[in-house]
Amino acid sequence: MTAPQHSARRRESGNLIHKLASATIALLVALLMLPNLVWLAHGADAPNWLAALVLPLGLLVAWFAVLGRAPWLACLLLAPFALLAPLEAFYVAQYHQPTSAQIIATIVATNPLEAREYFGWWLLPLALALLAGLALALLAAWSSWRARLGWSRAGRSAAACLGVLAILVPLGIGYARSGTPRATASASASSPLHQFGDAIQRGYPAGVIPRIVTWHREWTRMRSEAARFQSFHFGAHRTGSPLGRRQVYVLVIGESSRRANWQLFGYRRPTNPGLSQLTNLVPLPRFITSWPESIAAIPMILTRRKPAMAWDAPWHEASILRAMQEAGYETWWISNQQAIGEFDSPVSMYAYEAEHVEWLNHASWTAPGSYDGDLLRPLEDALDASHHDLFIVLHMMGSHVKYDYRYPKRFTRWQPTQLSPPGQGTLVERARNSYDDSILYSDHVLTEVIDVLKRSGAVSALWFESDHGEVIPTATCDKEGHGVGTVPEYEIPAFFWYSDAYARHFPARVSEVRANAGKRTLSGDTFESLIDMVGVTFPGHDESWSLFSPEWRYHTRWVAQTRHIDFDTARIGAGCQRVLPSGGQSRVSAQPLRNGVLR
């Protein structure tokens, strides 16, 4: 072969490598933009265009401009994001929004078995897609290195300017808009810089970095809180002799469920077709919570924290899970809520006192999907995982706003709902219908949970209570949500269910709880009641708070505790039924009025 032939061959192969490098870089950018494009396909309004297209594209252009002299390095550093892009795109296709720090927490805490159940037959194609994404990034890096690809100085400067412009113009527009009074009038308006940061965080791939940082910070904080009670001991043990049969007990914590909309407690609509058929069920028709938001209400259920304490007072005892474990119950916390977040982390701290913790929610609070029925399979798995006695906590999404996101379509019994086209029905009717549909679905899930227990053949019982209730709009009240301090936020549904075998073994417990059921009870009774429900005791066990004991007695039912109102003598405001101190002037504005934002 002659020398010119040689160099022609080399030029040819050089050209080929050059073409390969350009093509793979273009494909890589397309892959990285894929999650954004899927998101855009599901909601193409103005803020989405910015977060899903303008900013991510601008950042990618700026990225390649900055590393323009070594595109191979730019590709190599993008490899982890190329690997994850198919997963993110899969997520967005399902839930119509990007992942978040909370979703990352759920995913990281997921074990392989749960992942297999969640993805089903998608698992293999998805795994292959992830590997293909990684391979593409590596090929782009290798070929651009081989081709000695570089970007001319002028081209780099122009691209950098374009990228910076794409990033800065929206921020400028945000600031210009925030100057007009219309934008600042909205209660939810935050600073343009904050909104801008939020938009970046929702885009792919750059947004993944702040999401991971937030996840790590929140998760570490939550786990270190959880470790505080590691050395605490109740000295709890079983009462009575061993049964020789397996015992399984379940505590179900509901969410934003108000008693007034339960057929079981006299509501006119048939919202409890399942539970109202059960004979071994003891409704607690006067049960209340002391707090209208989860973050303060749930510690009242799980600990011996007494009502007079402020909600943020540091607590010095572990939760019911520790007592159960000391007494020989294997403990589980299976949650359809989220592991981290402003309102979630303080609850998750208790979850980690359980020996087994599972997070099932992949949908977030603001998207449909991850219905409470998802709790059933993990519950069955927990029962099958051992032959031990079990104490299981199930944490529901229940009826949290938006109500229509909490139930599958086939449970749309009352219409029009809040999701129906505008013009159908009044706002009041739509809210009530959506809310009732969510209760109907909760009834279905609770009935199924009880079915699982029945089928298990164990000596079993279940305690249900909602964390707090909910105010929904009426003709005289336009509030929706909780954290307001109205009667329907304090009046929660609660009941006790027991298996036939439980009734045979513990007839006294059943008759005691039946005798106490109609009394003026509260969520502060839960801890000591559960202790007796499962046949445990410990030094200092106070039966005056136990509905399973003849010693139970009435305790003043303080609510709205920063204001110390006795629920049983309170004045009820007109309109929204706000709970007000008896006598004296009403101080309507003393409580923060936040709608639908608290859990």
Q: State whether residue 558 is helix, strand or coil.
A: strand
Nearer to Zn ion, 324 or 598 (CB): 598
Residue carrying the six token digits 């022609």: 8
DSSP letter for each residue of 396-440: --TTPSSGGGGS-GGG--S-S-TTSPTTSS-HHHHHHHHHHHHHH
Nearer to Zn ion, 330 or 465 (CB): 465
Nearer to Zn ion, 442 or 460 (CB): 442
CA 592 to chain centre: 23
Window of 278-286, 467-475, 532-540, 580-588 that interacts with Zn ion by CB under 5 A: 467-475
Q: State whether residue 518 is helix, strand or coil.
A: coil
DSSP letter for each residue of 246-301: -EEEEEEEESS--GGG-GGGT-SS---TTGGG-SSEEE-TT-B-S-SSHHHHHHHH
Backbone angles phi, psi at 236, to 5 degrees: -80, 145
DSSP letter for each residue of 140-202: HHHHHHHTT----HHHHHHHHHHHHHHHHHHHHHHHHHHTSHHHHHSTT---HHHHHHHHHHH
- Report the alpha-carbon distance of residue 133 to residue 118 in Å, rounded: 22
Nearer to Zn ion, 330 or 470 (CB): 470
Nearer to Zn ion, 201 or 337 (CB): 337
Asked if 372 is part of the footprint of Zn ion (rule: CB under 5 A), the reply reads no
Nearer to Zn ion, 218 or 255 (CB): 255
- Report the alpha-carbon distance of residue 469 to residue 294 in Å, rounded: 10
Name the residue with the smallest CB distance to Zn ion: 294
* Residue 489 contacts residue 470 (beta carbons within 8 Å): yes
In the complex, minimum distance from the CB of residue 470 to Zn ion, in angstroms, rounded to a whole number? 9
Q: Which residues of 448-465 are buried (b: 16+ CB within 10 A; e: fewer)?
A: bbbebbbebebbbbbbbb
> Rule CB under 5 A: which of 30-59 touch Zn ion?
none
Q: How many CA atoms lie within 13 A of 434 on its CB side?
A: 24
Asked if 541 is part of the footprint of Zn ion (rule: CB under 5 A), the reply reads no
Three-state helix/strand/coil letters over 359-401: ECCCCCCCCCCCCHHHHHHHHHHHHHCCCCCEEEEEECCCCCC
In the complex, minimum distance from the CB of residue 523 to Zn ion, in angstroms, rounded to a whole number? 12
Asked if 599 is part of the footprint of Zn ion (rule: CB under 5 A), the reply reads yes
Window of 151-159, 299-307, 431-439, 461-469 that interacts with Zn ion by CB under 5 A: 461-469
Window of 99-107, 432-440, 465-473, 563-571 that interacts with Zn ion by CB under 5 A: 465-473
Q: What would the x/- binding string for Zn ion be over residues 232 to 271, using CB under 5 A?
A: -----------------------x----------------
Kindly determine how many residues on this chain lie close enough to bind Zn ion according to the rule CB under 5 A: 4
In the complex, minimum distance from the CB of residue 438 to Zn ion, in angstroms, rounded to a whole number? 13
Window of 151-159, 286-294, 372-380, 528-536 that interacts with Zn ion by CB under 5 A: 286-294
In the complex, minimum distance from the CB of residue 292 to Zn ion, in angstroms, rounded to a whole number? 9
In the complex, minimum distance from the CB of residue 50 to Zn ion, in angstroms, rounded to a whole number? 32
Nearer to Zn ion, 71 or 469 (CB): 469
- Report the alpha-carbon distance of residue 439 to residue 252 in Å, rounded: 15
Identity of the residue numbered 392: I
Nearer to Zn ion, 91 or 464 (CB): 464
Residue carrying the six token digits 């947004």: 207
In the complex, minimum distance from the CB of residue 467 to Zn ion, in angstroms, rounded to a whole number? 4
Backbone angles phi, psi at 438, to 5 degrees: -70, -35
Window of 94-102, 197-205, 210-218, 288-296 that interacts with Zn ion by CB under 5 A: 288-296
Q: Which of 218, 374, 467, 480 binds Zn ion (CB under 5 A)?
A: 467
Of 527, 524, 465, 220, the C-alpha closest to 348 is 220
- Report the alpha-carbon distance of residue 190 to residue 178 in Å, rounded: 9
Nearer to Zn ion, 224 or 366 (CB): 366
In the complex, minimum distance from the CB of residue 290 to Zn ion, in angstroms, rounded to a whole number? 13
Q: State whether residue 574 is helix, strand or coil.
A: coil
In the complex, minimum distance from the CB of residue 297 to Zn ion, in angstroms, rounded to a whole number? 7
Window of 55-63, 154-162, 289-297, 442-450 that interacts with Zn ion by CB under 5 A: 289-297
In the complex, minimum distance from the CB of residue 490 to Zn ion, in angstroms, rounded to a whole number? 13
- Report the alpha-carbon distance of residue 446 to residue 13 in Å, rounded: 67
Nearer to Zn ion, 247 or 526 (CB): 526
Q: Which of 294, 325, 438, 521 binds Zn ion (CB under 5 A)?
A: 294
In the complex, minimum distance from the CB of residue 546 to Zn ion, in angstroms, rounded to a whole number? 25
CB atoms within 10 A of CB 173: 13
In the complex, minimum distance from the CB of residue 466 to Zn ion, in angstroms, rounded to a whole number? 8
Window of 345-353, 368-376, 459-467, 531-539 that interacts with Zn ion by CB under 5 A: 459-467
In the complex, minimum distance from the CB of residue 299 to Zn ion, in angstroms, rounded to a whole number? 12
* Residues near Zn ion, by CB under 5 A: 255, 294, 467, 599
